[in-house]
């Protein structure tokens, strides 16, 4: 039974919004001039930025900088470029811009916000010391809207270093209506659970249930905390309390399968096998892509054994073995598809834009194994790799379009053949670099996907072996009685 995992951020969608907010907040904090005074290209870049078209934003800003058009808005344009770079995934470029602007005397940037986002970038890269240093450069008197998240990061650094007491002390700096307080509570609970201090873990998980926040993210966190609390109570042999925790998880929650499995184990721990059968029976009819469903297929006949229903148990062990065997064949076939399939987008990008977040239907190879590959999209590392592939293919598409335009321009402007030729040479070099990066990205995706599918195959093989051993054991211990 797996324990709780430490959270690093509210989740994928929130992380994406926070990256976008980085640029928006910096721009709003730095700009005092009226909209009408801004150069046309700067206003055009702002339009693209708010449309989340970061490639077009960067194109407009870099063109303006080459033409020396920003003028009095140079700092603002640089902040906008940093925000677009950050949202587009170019963290190093964004960090360089922020640091350069902060080093200038009389910089107009909101320093506290800028240092916060530099610290956040360092945190995302695992550079704890640099993150702490950047956050320490924020003014001690800063109490703006980023203060709770900054204190959450400080607490997370302490927790990562193993100092639970220092991490816990930051809860006094986080308001009750801040989601960061409850993410801190979850992380503290997960940390204590990892150390098998079940009582402390349950205490922190219980605090999340008292949150006054009703956002979808907080509702999901509450379900996660209830599930983690239930498993901590199972480990502490507090079976009645565990059953109560599991029963509070919403039926439409993404964690309902994990909660149903634990709910059954809680009743099993109380030797109430009849009650354990109900949640396990519910799980048994669900998709085997879920590890909890796989475990339930073996847990269900286990309960019938304890009730003396030998024939029912034998039939269910056999059924579980047949299902595991069929699913194992599908997973192995999916691995072969990934090894041999084409992971590139369809010609013309298949209608996918550079900002379309990972539409697997356009990228993953088709076939009856597709559901197994869709399951991989829940893995954070795999999603990032897929986004990189999609961005690279979008870049290749843009470069291809630029090449065509240069050829047309060369025919219309014979007096500039040398200049256009130089541009074409640079463009072809960039196209080759992008193609090499595409091959690397595809290789990483294959490696990540095959590793995950091999994990599933190993899990299924283990479960298949357990079902066969159970069948043999029933024959040996119960003999002919198991068949009656």
Calpha distance 95→121 (Å, rounded): 8
Burial of 339 (0-12, 13-18, 19+ CB in 10 A): exposed
Say whether pLDDT at 345 is over 50: no
Percentage of the chain modeled with pLDDT above 90: 42
CA neighbor of 192 nearest in space, from 217, 167, 174: 167
Which residue would you say has higher pLDDT here, 477 or 468?
468
Calpha distance 218→208 (Å, rounded): 9
pLDDT tens across 170-217, in order?
999 999 999 999 999 999 999 999 999 999 999 999 999 999 999 999
Length of the chain, in residues = 484
Which residue would you say has higher pLDDT here, 342 or 238?
238
Instruction: Indicate the pLDDT class of residue 456, thresholds 50, 70 and 90.
Output: confident
pLDDT tens across 39-96, in order?
677 788 888 887 777 778 888 888 777 776 655 556 677 778 877 777 766 777 877 8
Averaged over 360-374, what is the pLDDT?
56
Q: What is the structure's pLDDT at 358?
A: 34
Which residue would you say has higher pLDDT here, 451 or 135?
135
Say whether pLDDT at 167 is over 80: yes
pLDDT tens across 298-339, in order?
999 999 999 999 999 999 999 999 999 999 998 898 888 778
pLDDT tens across 382-411, in order?
777 777 777 788 788 888 888 888 778 777
Averaged over 344-373, what is the pLDDT?
47
Percentage of the chain modeled with pLDDT above 70: 79
Q: What is the structure's pLDDT at 65?
A: 76
Say whether pLDDT at 251 is over 80: yes
Provide the H-helix boundaries in 341-379.
370-375
Burial of 425 (0-12, 13-18, 19+ CB in 10 A): exposed
- What mean pLDDT, rounded, does the chain reach? 81
CA neighbor of 438 nearest in space, from 402, 386, 383: 386
Calpha distance 123→117 (Å, rounded): 10
Say if pTM beats, i.e. exceeds, 0.95: no
Q: What is the structure's pLDDT at 12?
A: 39
Calpha distance 66→168 (Å, rounded): 50
Which range has highest mean pLDDT (43-47, 120-124, 436-440)? 436-440
Q: What is the structure's pLDDT at 380?
A: 62
Per 3-state DSSP, the chain is made up of helix, strand and coil in percentages (nearest 5) of 75, 0, 25
Calpha distance 7→338 (Å, rounded): 30
Q: Which pair of tokens denotes residue 177? A: 């209506």
């Amino acid at each position: 039974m797996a324990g709780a995992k430490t959270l690093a951020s509210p989740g994928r969608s929130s992380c994406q919004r926070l990256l976008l907010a980085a640029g928006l907040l910096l721009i709003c904090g730095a700009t005092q001039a009226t909209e009408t005074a801004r150069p046309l290209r700067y206003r055009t870049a702002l339009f693209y930025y708010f449309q989340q078209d970061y490639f077009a934003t960067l194109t407009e800003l870099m063109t303006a900088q080459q033409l020396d058009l920003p003028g009095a808005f140079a700092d603002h344009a640089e902040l906008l470029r940093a925000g677009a770079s950050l949202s587009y995934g170019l963290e190093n470029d964004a960090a360089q811009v922020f640091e350069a602007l902060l080093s200038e005397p009389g910089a107009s940037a909101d320093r506290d916000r800028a240092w916060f986002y530099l610290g956040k970038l360092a945190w995302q890269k695992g550079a704890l010391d640099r993150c702490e240093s950047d956050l320490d450069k924020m003014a001690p008197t800063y109490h703006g809207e980023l203060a709770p998240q900054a204190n959450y990061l400080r607490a997370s650094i302490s927790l990562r270093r193993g100092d639970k007491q220092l991490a816990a002390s930051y809860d006094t700096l986080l308001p009750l209506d801040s989601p960061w307080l409850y993410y801190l509570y979850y992380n503290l609970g997960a940390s204590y659970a990892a150390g098998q201090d079940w009582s402390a873990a349950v205490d922190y998980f219980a605090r999340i249930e008292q949150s006054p926040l009703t956002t979808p993210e907080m509702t999901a966190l509450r379900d996660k905390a209830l599930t983690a609390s239930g498993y901590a109570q199972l480990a502490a042999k507090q079976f009645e309390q565990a059953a109560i925790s599991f029963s509070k998880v919403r039926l439409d929650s993404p964690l309902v399968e994990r909660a149903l499995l634990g709910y059954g184990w809680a009743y099993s721990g109380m030797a109430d096998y009849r009650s354990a059968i109900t949640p396990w029976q519910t799980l048994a009819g669900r998709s085997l892509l879920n590890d909890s469903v796989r475990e339930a297929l073996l847990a269900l006949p286990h309960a019938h054994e304890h009730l003396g229903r030998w024939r029912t148990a034998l039939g269910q062990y056999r059924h579980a073995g047949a299902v595991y065997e069929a699913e194992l064949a599908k997973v192995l076939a999916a691995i072969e598809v990934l090894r041999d399939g084409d992971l590139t987008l369809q010609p013309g990008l298949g209608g996918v834009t550079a900002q379309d977040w990972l539409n697997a239907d356009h990228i993953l190879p088709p076939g009856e194994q597709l559901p197994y590959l869709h399951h991989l999209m829940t893995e954070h590392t795999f999603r990032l790799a897929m986004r990189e592939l999609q961005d690279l293919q979008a870049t290749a598409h843009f470069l291809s379009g630029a090449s065509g335009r240069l050829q047309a321009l060369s025919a219309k402007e014979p007096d500039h053949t040398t200049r256009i030729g130089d541009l074409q040479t640079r463009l072809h070099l960039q196209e080759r670099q992008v193609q090499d990066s595409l091959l690397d990205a595809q290789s990483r995706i294959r490696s990540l996907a095959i590793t995950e599918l091999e994990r599933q195959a190993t899990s299924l093989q283990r479960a298949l072996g357990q079902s066969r051993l159970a069948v043999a054991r029933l024959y040996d211990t119960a003999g002919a009685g198991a068949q009656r």
